[in-house]
Amino acid sequence: MTKRLLTWTTATLLLPLALAEQPSAPDAVAAPMRDLPWGDLNFLQTTDSHGWHAGHLQESQYSADWGDYISFAEQMQAKADEQGVDLLLIDCGDRIEGNGLYDGSDPKGQYLYDIVREQAIDVITTGNHELYQEDSAAREYNQTVPNFKGKYLASNLDYINPQTGKQIAMAARYRKFTTKNKGIRVLALGFLFDFTGNGKNTVVQPVEKTIEEQWFQEAIREDVDLFLVAGHVTLNGPEYKAIFKAIRSQNWDTPIQFFGGHSHIRNSAKYDSKAYGLQAGRYMETIGWQSIKGISGGGKKEKKRPKEHEPRASMSFKRRYIDTNLFGYHYHTGLNESTFSTEHGKNVSSMIHDARKALNLDHSFGCAPRNLWLNRAQYPGNDSVFTWLEDEVMPSVVVRDDRKETPRIAITNTGAMRFDIFKGAFTKDTTYIISPFVSKLLYIKDVPYKSAKGVLKLINEGGPVFSSADMPPVSQLAPPEQMSIHADIIPPLPPRDFRSSNGAQAPLGSSEKPDLVPGYTTIDAVGDDGDDTLHEPIPFFRVPNCIQSDIAFPKEGEPENVDLVFVDFIQPWILLALEFSGQSYTKDDVEVYMEDTLTELMAGWIKENWKKDC
């Protein structure tokens, strides 16, 4: 690690090293807090960070950066050592795509891999985003895997070596180790959900099949004190159910701790009284905290299963979702402005600052006149990013010179947008944050309007047309946050008296209810006391899978034919919907409509229309 840090440019050395969090990050706001419940074995988890390692520069609640997280982990490690307990760090993938710190360089991730590797992660896995593009999968194989040698686990993922064409394990299938203070023997596995959209140089094996492999069957027969299953897998999906069942079939009483990811939510799950799961949200907004009390090292595996079905509940599993800001980090470590940051953490904050400067991420394209929300506002509506896209952006940018008079329908999936737009400076970074995808616009010429007009409805309703076909569910076209949320709106919680709620405290030294900052108010399988910070709830509205703009339509009546324009990601669904509407098209009928990506087109629109300096 030191070797890497010494390779920095001399510019770094001139920066004030007192710097922690990014200089332009807003200061954290004080809020009522809940303590972290410590156990004998404790975990910090990150997942779905998507390049947000500089922290959120427009939201004080999530303004700490990866360097601050390194300071936090090092201070917590010192606290663990002091108490003679253990602390392990977990990361469950999707570290890339979604922020200029990754997407803003060519090749992508020129700075990110060196920043991420500075954290001492004990178990790290792959997400689906590392595997969409062949070049990012290759970087994962030739950079991240060696950066986390022995800690990177790939229980169901292979890589195809470009030199030999041979299919080989992406990394170790599992890892066995003993914790340093309590001597707890851990067997760790690392999974990816049954993902099928990966590039040609990786092979994802379905979890059900992996379970049948000999190495797995041997691993789950090992005599250990804990099975640790980390993965880019939702906690309630079929993959973890199958793994839980397989481990329990050999170990009726051994504790199992799952860590999940992918759906971008804070979540926990209870599989039985000694098997729990935790998922730490997204975008470096959340650090997950999990503790197990009552677990010890070197326990003999109990061969005989007593009459009752459940393992004996001799342990307690507790969780917290930590907001990533310095106020909370200081609170949980008992340290302050002058004592919290470690030299290593500060160094990494400087590394991030240098990378952002080199990438020119603060370069302003314009000034957003208002907030535009993904799921926080009703669609359609003036505050919805999708209404803005549909009514203002797409009609003006989806234009091809030789066909500009031809009426057209432009369809994009809502999942192509990843984040809210905040009123204020719209920077180079913002473009990657709201839409990191390299989706090109494709089209099919002269589609009869009577068929084209039904496509959107079919894709949004899903239904049997799609479920019978061999393709992922249409819901995958919407933002991943919707995956686990079924209500149209999560209504605000009734006001609560947090002085009397579980473990809550008001460190502000006031008995008055302070103004709460809007933020997470998580309700999970364990209860509603998971968040470390008490917040005002934020509403959540569902949005459709896809949205559509009708462009250059005749003033009256319907066009006979239209150009059907769409982002490349949704091509399979478009073709199937057309077929269902009585028009058979194939891949060969699809052509490139414009060379620019949707993100570039959007940035162009913003430069034109939001010119003002903030």
Interface positions with ligand NAG (CB under 6 A): 2, 5, 8, 135, 138-139, 142, 336-339, 343-344, 347, 382
Q: How far is the CB of 106 from ligand NAG (least distance, A)?
A: 11
Distance CA 247, CA 237 (A): 16
Query: Could you write out the DSSP letters of every residue in 132-195?
Result: SSHHHHHHIIIIIHHHTTTTBB-TTEEEE-TTT--EEESSBSEEEEE-TTT--EEEEEEEE-S-
Nearest to ligand NAG of 339, 475 (CB atom): 339
Nearer to ligand NAG, 13 or 487 (CB): 13
Please identify, using beta-carbon distances, which residue of 135 and 488 lies nearer to ligand NAG: 135
Closer of 8 and 610 to ligand NAG (Cβ): 8
Rg of the Cα atoms in the chain: 25
Strand 561-567 versus strand 408-413 pairing type: parallel
CB atoms within 10 A of CB 7: 8
Pick 498 or 610: Cβ nearer ligand NAG: 610
Shortest gap between Cβ of 350 and ligand NAG (angstroms)?
A: 8
Q: How far is the CB of 519 from ligand NAG (least distance, A)?
A: 25
Nearer to ligand NAG, 15 or 516 (CB): 15
Q: How far is the CB of 601 from ligand NAG (least distance, A)?
A: 23
- Residue 83 CB, nearest distance to ligand NAG (Å)? 19
Looking at the Cβ atoms of 186 and 385, the one nearer to ligand NAG is 385
In SS3 terms, 270-282 reads as EEECCEEEEEECC
Asked if 48 and 234 count as a contact pair (C-beta separation under 8 A), the reply is no
- The C-alpha atoms of residue 387 and residue 374 are separated, in whole angstroms, by 10
**Of 266, 181, 185, 272, nearest in space to 228 by CA:** 185
| 5/351 Cα distance (integer angstroms) | 9
8 Å CB contact between 94 and 130:
yes
CB 411 within 8 A of CB 565: yes
Q: Rounded to the nearest whole angstrom, what is the least distance from the CB of residue 67 to ligand NAG in the complex?
A: 10
**First-last CA distance in the chain:** 40
Question: Measured from the CB atom, is 138 or 547 closer to ligand NAG?
Answer: 138
Nearest-approach distance from CB 344 to ligand NAG, in angstroms: 4
Q: Cβ of residue 491: shortest distance to ligand NAG, in angstroms? A: 20
Q: What residues contact residue 115 under an 8 Å CB cut-off, 6+ apart?
A: 53, 66, 101, 348, 351, 352, 355
Distance CA 205, CA 196 (A): 9
Tell the smallest beta-carbon distance from residue 347 to ligand NAG (Å).
4
Would the CA dihedral through 294, 323, 520, 500 be positive or negative?
Answer: positive
Query: In the complex with ligand NAG, which residue's Cβ is closer, 14 or 487?
Result: 14
Nearer to ligand NAG, 8 or 540 (CB): 8
Least Å distance, CB 9 to ligand NAG, is 10
Closest CA relative to residue 593, chosen from 562, 558, 553: 562
Residue number with the smallest Cβ distance to ligand NAG: 138
